[in-house]
Structure formats: C-alpha cells, structure tokens
Structure 1
Amino acid sequence: MGRWQPNARGRLLEAAMELFAERGYEQTTVGEIAKRAGLTERTFFRHYADKREVLFGGAQEMRELFTRTLAGLPASAGPMEAVGATLAAVAEGFRDRHAFARHRQALIAANAELRERELIKLADLSATVAGALRERGVGEPAASLAAEAAIAVFRVAFERWTRSPGTRELGLYMEESLVELKAVTAGA
C-alpha cells in the first residue's frame, strides 16, 4: 500500500466519488475506498472521521474563506454588501468544479443521513458568518439575519448551479439570488 505517496487525501476523495457513483453511497465501505486509492484504512482515518466526511471535508476551508473575506472588507461595507462580496469570493472557489459539485449534491440529495449533515454544515457556516459580522461591528439581530440570508442565497444559488449544465459560473447564480432576495424583502 502506497500511503507514503503524495496527495493521499485527494486520492481518497477521488476513489470515494468513483465508488459512490459505481456502487452507491450506502454500499461503499471505507475499506473499499482505501483499497481503490491504494492506501490503508488507517490512512483513510487519518484524513476523514468516516466515509460521510469525504463529502464534507472542505467545510473548514469554507468557514475560513467566509471569515477571511469578511474580515478583509472595508469597514464601510454594510452587512448585505459584505455578504455579497463574500459570496462572490466563495463562488470563485468553485470555479471548474461543477462536475464534482453536481455529483456531490446528487449523492447528498439521495441520502437522508447526508442531507442532515449538509444542514448541520450550513447551520455551522451561518454561525461563522454571524460571528464574523459581529466582529465587524454589526449588531444583533442584523448579524444573524444577514448570516442566514447569506446561507439562503448560497444554498439556492448552489442548487440552481448544480442542476444546470454548468455553462454559467456559480458567481452569476449567487448574484441573481442576492438580487432576488433584495427584491423580495423590498416588496415586503
């Protein structure tokens, strides 16, 4: 087994996605993923807590991107302006990842356990955004409302993008969803 070979985490992800497509999420074992990647189960568990986490391994990086982007914006940016800029930065992180994102979303949609984990991830992300907004001096309930709005825009845009053929960038769906949210709240 080649656990000393580079990019073990990426190889595990690729192997898992292949096996999930071939056999289904429920029928795929950690041992099969490790074997397909040319690694040991022990190496798998160094990188992921379980096979579910293969699909959610980027959650920490996403939280950091949201936090870093919000922290780097001018103090004059209002909460929703900051949210819009942050969503644009996040969308850039998905450039050239449409096929992967589409496959991942299909797996999540087909499995209740994965849908639950996705909701937990989004709730955690909302709390992270609210905290970053509070760090910028946004009070409550504005910070929590803007954070929830950011996650709603992200979720709607991401779902639209993954259902699309991938000819348009995620950022365009983010912009459109943010415009729709503003229109909905302005007409309230």
Structure 2
Amino acid sequence: MSRWQPDARGRLVLAAMDLFLERGFEQTTVADIAVRAGLTERTFFRHFTDKREVLFLGQDDLLDLFVSAVSSAPADASPLDAVAVALQAVAVDFEPRRDWARKRAQVIRANPALQERELIKLARMSDAVSQALRERGVTEPSASLAAQSGITVFHVGFAQWIDEADTRTFAEITTDALSALKVVTATVS
C-alpha cells in the first residue's frame, strides 16, 4: 500500500461510498475501506473519526454557508427572505454534487442510525439559522419559525432534487417550494 499517493481523503471517500452501496453500511468496515482505497486504517483515522463521518463530511461547511448567507442577506429582507438567500447560496454549492447526493441518500435511507444522524444535522442547522436571524434582530417565535420553515424547504427540496425523475436544479426546486410555503401561510390567516 502506497501511503504517498495524492488525495488520500478523496480516495477513502470514493472507496467508502462504493462499499456502502455494494455491501451496505453496517457490513462495511474501516479496514475494507482502507484496503479498497489502497491505504491503511491508520490513514483512514487521520481523516475521519469513524465511517459515518464519510457520509457527513462537509456538514459544518454547509451550516456555516447557511449562517453566513442569512447574516449577509439585505438588511430589509424578511426572515423568510433571508432564509431564501441562504437556500440560493446552498444551491450553488450543491449543484455539482447531485450524483454523490443520490448515492449518499441511498445509503442513509437504508440505515436507521444514519437517518437519525441526518435529522440531528437538520436540527443543528435550524438552530444555527434561528440564531443568525435573532442576531439580525428577528424576535421569537418568528426567528425559529422562519428557520424551521427554511430547513424544511431544504429537506423537502433535497428529496426532490435527488429524485432522478426531477431534472430541475436545486435552486429551482427550493424557489418553488418557498413560493408554495408562502401561498400556504397566506391562506392560513
């Protein structure tokens, strides 16, 4: 095993995904991933704390992107419009990763513990967006409602985006979902 080939992390990620899809998440070991990538287990643990981290790589970057986009939204943006700015920022980042996202979702759908981890990630994002809105001067419950609604749009939009039958971009899907949400909330009063 040559430890000095470039992009060890990328090779580990690709090897892990291939194995998760072939064998299943639970049946794949860190040793299997390292061997498939042509690396050692020690190298794996230099990059990841465990095999779940391969699937949740970048979640902190996603959270930071959401928060910074909400924070930098125009000062006169409504809470939901500030969240819309964040959804558009995420869409730009997501679009090139559609195939990976489909594979990742397939692995997560097959494993209840990973589904739970995904829900925890969404809850963290909602909390962070809510805090960013409060820092913009949005009071409660508006900050929490806008954040939760935005993360729901993200979650529902993501499911549509990875559906192979849907060819719209993530930006188009989330824009449509936000429009539908605004219609629903306008008819509730």
TM-score (structure 1 length as normaliser): 0.95
Q: In 1, distance between residues paired with 2:8 and 2:59?
A: 18
**1:83 aligns to what?**
83
TM-fit CA distance, 1:166: 5.5
Give, in angstroms, the shift of residue 122 of structure 1.
Answer: 0.5
Confirm or deny: 8 A CA contact 1:98 1:166 kept in the other structure.
Answer: no
For 1:187, what is the secondary structure of its paired residue?
Answer: helix
Q: Give the aligned partner of residue 95 of structure 2.
A: 95
Identity of aligned residues (%): 55
* Letter aligned with residue 181 of structure 2: L
Q: CA RMSD in A?
A: 1.3
Contact 2:12 2:33 in 1 (8 A): yes
Structure 1, unpaired ranges of 5+: none
Q: Which residue number corresponds to residue 178 of structure 2? A: 178
Unaligned stretches of 5+ residues in structure 2: none
Change (3 A) 1:166 1:10: farther
Work out the number of aligned pairs and report it: 188
Instruction: Output the TM-score relative to the length of structure 2.
Output: 0.94
Gap change, CA 1:97 and 1:165, over 3 Å in 2 = farther
Aligned 8 A contact 1:126 1:151 in 2? yes
Q: In the alignment, which residue of structure 1 is the partner of 2:63?
A: 63
Q: Provide the C-alpha distance between the structure 1 equivalents of 2:71 and 2:3, rounded to a whole number of angstroms.
A: 38
Task: Give a deviation string over 1:133-152, Cα, whole Å, max 9, x none.
Answer: 11111111111111100110
Q: Please, which moves more after superposition, 69-78 or 82-91? A: 69-78
Residue 9 of structure 1 corresponds to 9
Give the Cα–Cα distance (whole angstroms) in 1 for the partners of residues 94 and 152 of structure 2: 17
